[in-house]
């Protein structure tokens, strides 16, 4: 007999989301809906009428975790709309900034997922805030990797959080020879640490894959070998940076994207009839509570070639490096494999960077209203911004951020998992929910109040 259990909110991710799960008598998920419950972001409406220089600054504020990805995608969407090519040295600085952001983000994600994992050879889970080994050494290494990524980002981008150096047409400033050397020294130190952390994490993940059970709230929960498997496709535009409509051969196709409204995709109203007060943290939703994912979900459902797709590290490695593993643990493994790639990318860009080279285009068109898009491979996956710019003002703007793509695919990947470890599946997608939320759906009376935001 099918029952409904709800985990709300989910934990150890950015933003607010919940899981509404239909499960069988053994507690195995028959249908899972993972949805954002974070309030409106509203960037698309804020952008209209603003200058093309203002909008990337606004867009970056949608998130404190991925402001670099949003700054660069937004800036390049404007450039794609107005047809502005940027100098080579500006592109190199942007790529360094992008790779630095990714390495810092992978390290942050390690902190969020490690409490789910066991120290190899023991029955003890990680607690990175404990003053014991190996927790203490692992945390120290993660903190240093994050510091290196943020420092390189601050040098190349102006600031590590909301970078001020990127601008329409290139960058405001090149870096000095001394700053270039500083970044190279940091990247070389980071490369050693990245290899150490990657090897450590791969051991931890493989150890988990070999387990039969995991402990959740004092109970042994079976660990399926197919945890997180799904039948959707993958989508990636590059192994490291991205693509735009200015490219001679773009790796993303605007015409293959469509978006479905949440009430056409999520399950309708259900009553919670399974409850576990011992589930961390604070127990699951109480029996008798009504849930209505169809009306509560705060994102649309993007599809590519008519189906949801997975984006992120596994998608990148599958698309560009023939990586053929599937599921939750494959995502973790692929993410760790990107650690050294970030450092190698930074070092390669620095080798080619001319600190005397120009970083701003000679001519910056003001736009005729043409549609332009730019996609970059943010830590969590393909991050696409689209814009129409005319006479320097934004006429239309949209954002298709990674977690928006992953919500529907992850929902399907929950099928077959014990509900108690559904959050492990979600965390593998490295969710960053705030920027994925782009509309208010209902008011307190459950009436639609955001119709005008939803005119596709």
> Which DSSP helix (H) or strand (E) runs through 376?
strand 368-378
By DSSP bridging, strand 309-310 and strand 233-234 are parallel
435 is in an annotated binding site: yes
399 is in an annotated binding site: yes
DSSP per-residue letters across 172-231: S----HHHHHHHHHHHHHHHHHHHHHHHHHHHHHHHHHT-SEEEETTEEEE--TTTT--S
Q: Using only C-alpha atoms, what is the Rg of the chain?
A: 22
Residue 86 main-chain phi, psi, to 5 deg: -105, 160
Residue 81 main-chain phi, psi, to 5 deg: -70, -40
Structure-token pair, residue 277: 């007060």
Structure-token pair, residue 303: 């599809």
- Rounded to whole angstroms, how far apart are CA atoms 238 and 402? 14
Q: What angle do CA 153, 249, 304 make, to 5 degrees?
A: 85
438 is in an annotated binding site: yes
By DSSP bridging, strand 170-171 and strand 166-167 are antiparallel
What does DSSP assign to residue 40? Answer: -
66 is in an annotated binding site: yes
Alpha-carbon distances, residue 148 vs 101, 168, 351, 386 (angstroms) = 10, 27, 18, 31
44 is in an annotated binding site: yes
Sign of CA dihedral 428, 434, 438, 439: positive
What does DSSP assign to residue 59? Answer: H
343 is in an annotated binding site: no
Annotated binding site for Fe cation: 66, 435
Annotated binding site for Ni(2+): 63, 66, 432
Annotated binding site for Mg(2+): 44, 399, 438
Annotated binding site: 44, 63, 66, 399, 432, 435, 438
């Amino acid at each position: 007999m099918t029952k409904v259990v709800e985990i709300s909110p989910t934990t150890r991710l950015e933003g607010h989301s919940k899981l509404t799960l239909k499960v069988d008598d053994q507690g195995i998920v028959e249908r899972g809906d993972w949805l954002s419950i974070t309030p409106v972001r509203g960037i698309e409406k804020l952008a209209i009428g603003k200058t093309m220089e203002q909008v990337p600054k606004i867009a970056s504020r949608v998130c404190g975790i991925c402001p670099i990805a949003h700054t660069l995608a937004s800036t390049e969407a404007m450039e794609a709309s107005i047809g502005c090519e940027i100098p080579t040295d500006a592109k190199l600085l942007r790529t360094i900034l992008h790779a630095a952001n990714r390495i810092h983000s992978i390290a942050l994600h390690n902190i969020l997922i490690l409490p789910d994992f066991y120290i190899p050879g023991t029955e003890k889970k990680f607690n990175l805030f404990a003053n014991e080994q190996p927790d203490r050494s692992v945390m120290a290494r993660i903190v240093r990797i994050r510091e290196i990524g943020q420092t390189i980002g601050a040098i190349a981008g102006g600031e590590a959080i909301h970078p001020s150096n990127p601008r329409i047409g290139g960058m405001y400033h090149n870096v000095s020879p001394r700053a270039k050397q500083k970044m190279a020294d940091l990247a070389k130190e980071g490369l050693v640490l990245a290899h150490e952390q990657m090897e450590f994490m791969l051991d931890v993940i493989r150890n988990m894959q070999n387990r039969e059970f995991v402990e959740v709230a004092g109970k042994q929960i079976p660990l399926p070998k197919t945890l997180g498997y799904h039948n959707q496709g993958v989508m990636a535009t590059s192994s490291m940076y991205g693509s735009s409509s200015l490219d001679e051969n773009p790796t993303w196709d605007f015409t293959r994207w469509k978006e479905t409204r949440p009430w056409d995709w999520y399950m309708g109203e259900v009553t919670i009839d399974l409850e576990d007060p011992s589930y961390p943290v604070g127990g699951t939703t109480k029996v008798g509570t009504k849930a209505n994912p169809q009306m509560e979900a705060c994102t649309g459902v993007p599809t590519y070639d008519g189906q949801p797709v997975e984006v992120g590290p596994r998608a990148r490695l599958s698309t560009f490096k023939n990586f053929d593993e599937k599921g939750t643990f494959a995502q973790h493994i692929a993410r760790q494999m990107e650690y050294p790639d970030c450092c190698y990318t930074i070092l390669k860009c620095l080798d080619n960077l001319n600190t005397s080279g120009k970083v701003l285009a000679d001519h910056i068109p003001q736009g005729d209203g043409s549609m332009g898009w730019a996609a970059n491979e943010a830590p969590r996956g393909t991050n696409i911004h689209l814009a129409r710019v005319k006479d320097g003002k934004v006429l239309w703007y949209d954002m298709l951020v990674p977690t928006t793509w992953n919500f529907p695919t992850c929902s399907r990947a929950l099928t077959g998992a014990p509900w108690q470890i559904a959050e492990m599946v979600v965390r593998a997608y490295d969710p960053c929910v705030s920027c994925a939320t782009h509309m208010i759906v209902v008011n307190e009376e459950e009436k639609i109040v955001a119709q005008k935001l939803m005119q596709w």
